[in-house]
Structure 1
């Protein structure tokens, strides 16, 4: 829709350009009539050639005026005073027309109609009010010329004709301005139909994407912060199943109303998809955005929704994720992904809460030697590239980190082991940087050749961080997280205790998330089906003791895993 509107503006600017060019051509005719003298004998003397010099200079000046206009309007150069530029431009044209009318017999000049050109263009560019102002100024000039240059003469006919002409000036500005107003209102309605979600009356997903890109570009120029709030209605499927989709739609409408009434004018509220909403807060830091998010969360919790007493927690609630540009993300993709990660953690940890994005890499910076600190930036860049190539990998990494933390507590690992496991969970798929996007996102079964390429990613990842002494303990987790307990894994076919203990731990949580997530290939399982698979493969693919502990972790946190699969689908 924005492209259509921009194309329309371009066409309008082209029309205005033609109108002003036409007015300049008329000005050239007037100048020619004023400064050229053709003698009755059919030739032009030397003095006539000299008289052509002002003509050429005048035409050159007019051409320069036109070129300046084209530069600033048709090319839409960013200029903070563009309105004032138009006023100055219109003043120059009015002054030029006035001078030329005076030079062409003043009050009896037939070129007073020139003012119609500037009235038409001014009205189209700046609407009715400005057009009428220009029309009144033009009318005043015409009548003043009559009074000054026809003083003492019988001018009733000229004055009466010019009164009619002034009426035409004002009527033209009013009618054209009214038409422009109606057309703009019509375009606004069309824009709303294209950009507004019909159910919730907030912006739709497409408008959000365009707006976020534009807002971030401005933020980069002004070096300001932009925060993104991503929220999801808790147990919404449960509500729909009990109350029907019409009642569910009512909840969505009310959520949209609450959001619109808890943000500033100029903030963007959009429906992200299904029961998810998103808010763009310009010029807003993380602390302020968290305050806004918490206020919205509390407002929803305190709102009285019909049928909410049958919800698992007795209320309609929302989970909220917050991320901020540029402190937590460098572009729109990272900003959306990081807010999505924060939302996922809010959903996972009991729901009805606000979570802000927190990167494992920031923790890693504290533990790495100073000479290798630049590697963290490189690793973050690599992971961003992988995320762009393979959307599954991004969410997968963040979830594996969370699951690993839960299992680490259950296994009573030391603090150092927990830290190593966490870093390994975060970096275990970094070797996918060298895998082609076509293979990562292939929906059909991989060929033997493609599978062999994919199996190289553990070794590739280990090689990437091999030179960093601080990450030496993490390398085995990256290299061996696809080994199997029965020795049929890759890349080294290690078995049982030959596989490092933390690698065996990572294998379980990595496989669990792979089974319960949407992937380009294969069918996802719900968490109960995944647990059955882990129990079935205990002793073959997985260390039986670790597998049993992880099953206990999932069962002990059943409420956290309850909506896991449905949330992963989005």
Structure 2
């Protein structure tokens, strides 16, 4: 943020340094002229030591001012203080020069122009005018105090009235120019950082701000919450009402967002119908409360044509995560908020979801010495998701389906946990499968298929060292077994396949059918339901299929799932 402003300050700092250098050189000339005034050739040597000291002091002053004029070397919050000290120092220094060079008769009074110019450039019209008035007051007061008694016309006072006018007329228009330039820079920054449609910050600014806020939060050990918001069924709204009406929805929601958050919050349009909000120093509970108020406010706002939406209203889904409790860095913070948004979109939409990782739940049940392994497994699953772009979100969906089916089958808490943990990690062995095979856009060869089938065995090898995960090993190893015994790796059949594995097999297969695959056309939910019905009793356990179909039908009607 503020690159234009930073560049401007850096260039002004360079100009100001040169101006101050010139003013010190002029001051040095005045000092030397004072010390050598009326001095004979014989006396020059006696003054050489003093002259040498004066020159050294001037050079040291030049070095000091030159060094500290560079804005980049000074912390932003101390810049104004340093500049104020510099101004005072220069005013005092010029006063000394004027006293040494003739007081009211001095021809060095113009030196104040240098500090008036530099203070106006650096700090604006107000500071420049203050310095101009102080300088004018000094030289005019000096003329009155040091004036010759009984003289009707004080020519020095008359001349210095003109000089005072020059001081003020220098600060005033120069300050006005600086003000206009600052406003222009702010306008340019607005164009660079704002979304033209909604007036919110744009995608670029969001990431710049996130980096800065996370850096501050890391140093101060403070909280950062993130909120991702997505308009439900926005494509349907655009298709029915046209893109101009869709733009009006975006503008209205942008206006609501802009007026719903605090000054320090960063509210941005992330892209399309998605918005991202960064909330510094905000707890998860506070973020959830703000999100619920926002969701309700948008739901109650009338949008033309909203009665034709699947929900009968224009609504939003919101995902929330928090640093450092649920994310270690900005990447994890965004990813976890995005996962929470995905869950909110899946469950009925028009809702707020806070991020909750299956692996975080698992850590509670894991011995301390295995916590690092659990963290590594979480990383591996993220790598797999990135590696196999066609199954992005597959694990989350399988976990959600498994929760729903576990409730329908009334599993006890122990079995429900095992099923969910197994669903989360069932494809972990794909980490060892070459990317070319995972993403191949045509059917696999026999050799490639044999490599792919090894992922279940590889997965068990990865988790076998964690004692608390041993009970889910069968889910990882056997989730591709078939009820008729034609699956892999062990050709188990019927009730020889563990019950939880039979549940996971149905869920995993259904999501595979309804997900985009490189070599297989995605099925609609109804087509997938028909397929698992057809394979009931051969590939799948019939009782589990019947229960799962009930879950899908209820989900379509009550949870907002629509055919892709």
TM-score bucket of the superposed structures, by smaller chain? 0.7 to 0.9
Partner-residue secondary structure (3-state), 2:73: coil
Specify whether residues 110 and 399 from structure 1 end up closer, same or farther in structure 2 by C-alpha distance, changes over 3 A only. Answer: farther
Shift of 1:484: 6.4
Shift of 1:272: 2.1
Structure-2 residue corresponding to 1:245? 243
Contact 1:482–1:507 under 8 Å retained in 2: yes
TM-score (norm 1): 0.86
CA distance in 1, matches of 2:553, 2:97: 90
Structure-2 residue corresponding to 1:22? 22
Specify whether residues 28 and 457 from structure 1 end up closer, same or farther in structure 2 by C-alpha distance, changes over 3 A only. Answer: farther
Contact 2:348–2:560 under 8 Å retained in 1: no
Output one character per residue of 1:433-474: Cα deviation in whole Å (capped at 9) or x when no partner: 5678x7599686699799887766544443332111111012
CA distance in 2, matches of 1:105, 1:565: 92
What CA RMSD, in Å, does the superposition of the two structures yield over aligned residues? 3.5
Contact 1:484–1:493 under 8 Å retained in 2: no
Q: Which one of 73, 91, 96 corresponds to residue 94 of structure 1? A: 91
Structure-2 residue corresponding to 1:7? 7
Output one character per residue of 1:363-396: Cα deviation in whole Å (capped at 9) or x when no partner: 2133223443444344444445556666776633
Moved more, 56-65 or 254-263: 56-65
**1:21-420 pair list within 5 angstroms:** 21-35=21-35, 45=45, 47-49=47-49, 51-70=51-70, 73-78=71-76, 80-152=77-149, 156-383=154-381, 395-420=393-418
Partner-residue secondary structure (3-state), 1:199: coil
Moved more, 479-488 or 280-289: 479-488
CA distance in 1, matches of 2:518, 2:127: 58
Contact 2:419–2:504 under 8 Å retained in 1: yes
Structure-1 residue corresponding to 2:507? 509
Can you give the 5+ residue segments of structure 2 that lack an aligned partner in the other structure?
none
Output one character per residue of 1:173-210: Cα deviation in whole Å (capped at 9) or x when no partner: 11111111111222222222222222222222222222
Moved more, 498-507 or 48-57: 498-507
Output one character per residue of 1:339-372: Cα deviation in whole Å (capped at 9) or x when no partner: 2222222222222222211121232133223443
Moved more, 274-283 or 390-399: 390-399
CA distance in 1, matches of 2:440, 2:95: 72
CA distance in 1, matches of 2:520, 2:102: 87
CA distance in 1, matches of 2:73, 2:437: 42
CA distance in 1, matches of 2:114, 2:527: 76
CA distance in 1, matches of 2:562, 2:18: 62
Shift of 1:535: 5.8
Shift of 1:142: 2.3
Specify whether residues 450 and 110 from structure 1 end up closer, same or farther in structure 2 by C-alpha distance, changes over 3 A only. Answer: farther
CA distance in 2, matches of 1:487, 1:3: 65
Partner-residue secondary structure (3-state), 1:472: helix
CA distance in 2, matches of 1:559, 1:169: 78
Partner-residue secondary structure (3-state), 2:222: coil
CA distance in 2, matches of 1:353, 1:562: 11
Q: How many residues align?
A: 561
Can you give the 5+ residue segments of structure 1 that lack an aligned partner in the other structure?
none
Specify whether residues 94 and 561 from structure 1 end up closer, same or farther in structure 2 by C-alpha distance, changes over 3 A only. Answer: same
Contact 2:346–2:560 under 8 Å retained in 1: no
Shift of 1:101: 2.2
CA distance in 2, matches of 1:512, 1:182: 63
Contact 1:485–1:494 under 8 Å retained in 2: no
CA distance in 1, matches of 2:182, 2:427: 52
